[in-house]
Each structure stands twice: as structure tokens, then as C-alpha cells.
Amino acid sequence: MSQAQAIEEIGKVLAEEVQSDCVGLWAVLWEVKQRLPSLTPAETRATVLAVVREALEREVIVPGEFVGMRFMQWEVSLKDALERIDNAWLALGREPTIGEVVWFMAQARPN
């Protein structure tokens, strides 16, 4: 499977999953590692960010975090959201796990 194909497939999985639940960055990471196990850690991070970028560009997802039990959408640009995710990931010094860095919810659609 090519990296481009994997990004497209994972983007579809992400778009489907956020319709019924919130999805953490760790879930996108897991999907990338399952489809492209030979990537280096830097390549894996770049691929995860590519999946997220495409989903944000298509307005399929919105990034945010939970404060208590409430999802708080980040009110930032696409560029700032990607930088925030990348910087938080790098600050961890390891791969993010459940609940770390960012959560995604479906983009609200007008009725």
C-alpha cells in the first residue's frame, strides 16, 4: 500500500468514526502504524499529520480537547491547529496515547 493510499483510507475511517464518537489522535496513529508499519517515527508523525490536515481541509473534523466532560473546540486556523498538534507531540518525546494531544469531533453541518 502506498503512503497516499493509506492517507486516503485512514481519512475515510476518521470521517466515518467521528460521525458517532470522538476520535483521539492516538487512533489515527494506530491506523497509520497498522497500514504502514515500516515507517520511521518521523515518517509516522508526518503521515498522521497529513491525514489530519486533509480531514481539516475537507472540514470533516474539528480539533479540540475535553474540559471535564465537555468537548471544547479549538478556535484556531488549520495551520495553527497542525502546529499545536505537532508541537504537543514533540513535547511528549514519544508517541501520544489515549487522551493526549487532541481529540476530533465531526464538523457540524448546517441544517
Percent of the chain with pLDDT over 90: 90
Write down the CATH superfamily of domain 3-105.
Answer: NMB0513-like (1.10.3510.10)
- The domain segmentation of the chain, as residue ranges, is 3-105
**Residue 63: enclosing H or E segment and its boundaries?**
strand 61-67
pLDDT tens-digit series, residues 64-110: 999 989 999 999 999 999 999 999 999 999 999 999 999 999 987 65
Strand partners of residue 71: 66
pLDDT in tens, 23-67: 999 999 999 999 999 999 999 999 999 999 999 999 999 999 999
DSSP H stretches of helix in the chain: 3-17, 25-35, 41-57, 78-92
